[in-house]
Structure 1
């Protein structure tokens, strides 16, 4: 959190966009809480109980005392509520600031399950069995509609505009936010380049369809070229594109390629884990190369690292599931997981051995390793112990003389590595000491 983003003495007022009912709270408890966490859920309840149409002003100290949370955690909880569409925030003033919080009603359950981001996010959090139970709990019985004909009249069937009373000027309307904000830059021009008008009439790409395409591309990390195939699979009616069929086509295409769901995680508290790499003079190519590797490890998806280590081959579902659990369940930073992937696979003949990987992961978690660089240093330092874990040794034994494959980063770059030795770091320090002594003569 930026230091000036939120302070305990900052004032706030609250209101609700619409009455929040007990049914709404049940929806937030069962469907939203697994996504946003207990602290954000408690903050939502607290703001709802304090709402008074912005009449009374409080200091954020009140929230800190009521929730027993520091201001940093309150800010993070607020950010989760804003991102998921349960809270809107305004600020007035710079020095003497007041925040205005508007509590939002959650989506109706059927709309929640129809949303591709929220539904798969929930599935990833609670698992298949619990997800099916929740979906069944909130499902509505519509079997009676099968043999019935709907007679409901539309607005234009009943009402006609009175043109004489129509205003010549349009009134300013306030936009009502019905869900969470979603901003993803998808290249629709590239998408349409490969689809001529005959295959995909442009009129079918309505605002809702475009929004769904962008969401699905973000969720599954698909390129416009991937989405071309998915859209063609979804088009079965020359007059419209079904959003439900579009979602199903995307799910089917994804299962064919990976058979694994995409993990979505919060980045509010993860930004400090990313190593900020500054430019390095050209006369230091070894350091520049290490920084390039760090950037790759910190910014690449673990699935891509699995694929790269395997020479471009698609990873097996079991490997993806294991890596996914490190990120989503054990909350390990992505850069740390990527170092773990490289180290374990290159030390176990290109196999992501579950027991070995989990043992190292638990060690790094206890050490609170925060980034790729720190993980690389620890792997070098504890390499001998890790090799004992790998071979199942409980006592010290003579070093293995066989040359084994290691990640590129395993050797430091101060000087070329001629031959691997269990005491290579000590030998390097001895040589540096001799060079220093020679210069001093």
Structure 2
């Protein structure tokens, strides 16, 4: 999941401003709508277009995040998720100033790249290629190419210089332009946090008598992009560079991109890398006892509103008091959806489907002190502290749950399933034990009967 609003101190009443230091052209809009939308989705690009209106606003009225929530019909968590995407792809920069009672935010829109910059970027072009099919990719690329370009190789430039037309000025006046806004041009994906071991790469190249001077600053930037995109080690990068050196002992950027892509395809069964959000890459790995159903169930809880979860449990709309209680858990306790869903299910199973507010808030406060922040942590803690109820209480909970069972199996409370499975296993073991005892008695009776027959037959023979 993306950064939560709590990490920014973001609240609905906090104000915001939107800045833009460039003129939004039709070409910019085409880049956003046709090239970035397949990458980040329509929700993120739609939010960018929505924020753009506040740049042109001449009203002195203070804008708060209530406006965004109300007009876009989203909560602060959804807003931050889409902003994370826009910031990560390099289209927005966010700034904050915290004060005692409020926080002020500035969202600065960044000029989108040109089509040439986009398709020259190894990461953006590969991600787009992976999102759309080959035919669509080349169609988009062709649409942005200048079909009316004229070949000037056989022409001679005759453009006049400034000094050919104008007189040189006699004054030494120097104007101060420091207060004039500077355009926020697109600089590609921010990979400043990525570390690539260039020292090892230099050592490997020296064994082949290749000087490190061949790795210019521009080449470094490209190597970091390719290493990040394809997960390349210095050893793999060395082999790619050796293939990409021209006869003039220069590094061909086109070849290094081609060989890096070929290397990745060979290692990954012809599948190119795709653009993934961080939570999809670094999601907590399940324990050895946890199967795929557990992982899917916990992930679904993280992405499901507690209001929706309660509605599915009772097959009816939650009460106003329950909705207020959920909002209080989100706003005051800063709990994620997954933790709240586990908490509510845990209480309902222990309290015969009731939701006593005081009891819930007490548990929420305790879990917050314990640092429980994910559905899996809440689930593991609930398993540890859960104490079985009397048999009749368990049967009542099981019966009521089956009556209102969710349509999705992943939302089934795991401790209830485990309790049912344990009870079923114990019942099966008891039945097996009874069957075994009966079988032993029958065998003893059969053996005694045969012995009796043998004795009788022995007497008859005499």
Classify the TM-score, shorter chain. 0.5 to 0.7
Q: Hey, what does 1:17 align to over in structure 2? A: 21
More deviation, 82-91/257-266: 257-266
Does residue 266 of structure 1 match 2:269?
Answer: no
Q: Hey, what does 1:178 align to over in structure 2? A: 186
2-side partners of 1:276 and 1:116: how far apart? 33
How do 1:75-114 residues align onto structure 2 when only pairs under 5 Å count? 75-95=80-100, 96-114=102-120
Superposition deviation, residue 222 in structure 1 = 1.5
Label 1:197 to 1:176 Cα distance change in 2 as closer, same or farther (>3 A).
farther
Does residue 74 of structure 1 match 2:79?
Answer: yes
Superposition deviation, residue 148 in structure 1 = 3.1
Say how many residue pairs are matched. Answer: 298
Q: Hey, what does 1:426 align to over in structure 2? A: 425
How do 1:397-436 residues align onto structure 2 when only pairs under 5 Å count? 426=425, 430=429
Contact 1:235 1:241 in 2 (8 A): yes
Structure 2 counterpart SS, 1:190: helix
Label 1:219 to 1:291 Cα distance change in 2 as closer, same or farther (>3 A).
farther
Label 1:153 to 1:429 Cα distance change in 2 as closer, same or farther (>3 A).
farther
Contact 2:5 2:80 in 1 (8 A): no
Superposed CA RMSD in Å reads 4.5
Label 1:52 to 1:120 Cα distance change in 2 as closer, same or farther (>3 A).
same
Q: State which of 130, 134, 155 in structure 2 corresponds to 1:128.
A: 134
Contact 2:112 2:185 in 1 (8 A): no
2-side partners of 1:68 and 1:191: how far apart? 51
Structure 2 counterpart SS, 1:194: helix
Q: State which of 61, 67, 82 in structure 2 corresponds to 1:62.
A: 67
Superposition deviation, residue 239 in structure 1 = 5.3
2-side partners of 1:150 and 1:232: how far apart? 38
Structure 1 counterpart SS, 2:12: coil
1-side partners of 2:95 and 2:141: how far apart? 34
Q: State which of 211, 216, 240 in structure 1 corresponds to 2:250.
A: 240
Label 1:93 to 1:28 Cα distance change in 2 as closer, same or farther (>3 A).
same
Larger Rg: 2
Label 1:42 to 1:263 Cα distance change in 2 as closer, same or farther (>3 A).
same
Per-residue displacement from partner, 1:254-282 (whole Å, max 9, x unpaired)? 333332201221125776x42598xxxxx
Q: Hey, what does 2:37 align to over in structure 1? A: 33
1-side partners of 2:426 and 2:156: how far apart? 84
Structure 1 counterpart SS, 2:6: coil
Unaligned runs of 5+ in 2: 165-171, 297-375, 377-406, 434-462
Contact 1:14 1:54 in 2 (8 A): no
How do 1:251-400 residues align onto structure 2 when only pairs under 5 Å count? 251-258=261-268, 259-267=270-278, 273-275=283-285, 290=288, 367-368=409-410
1-side partners of 2:249 and 2:107: how far apart? 42
Does residue 220 of structure 1 match 2:237?
Answer: no
Q: Hey, what does 1:211 align to over in structure 2? A: 221
Superposition deviation, residue 89 in structure 1 = 0.9
Per-residue displacement from partner, 1:91-150 (whole Å, max 9, x unpaired)? 112442111111111110121111111111111112222212111111223763374357
Higher relative contact order (CA 8 A, sep 6+): 2
Superposition deviation, residue 49 in structure 1 = 1.4
Structure 2 counterpart SS, 1:98: strand
Label 1:293 to 1:154 Cα distance change in 2 as closer, same or farther (>3 A).
farther
Structure richer in helix, relative to its length: 2
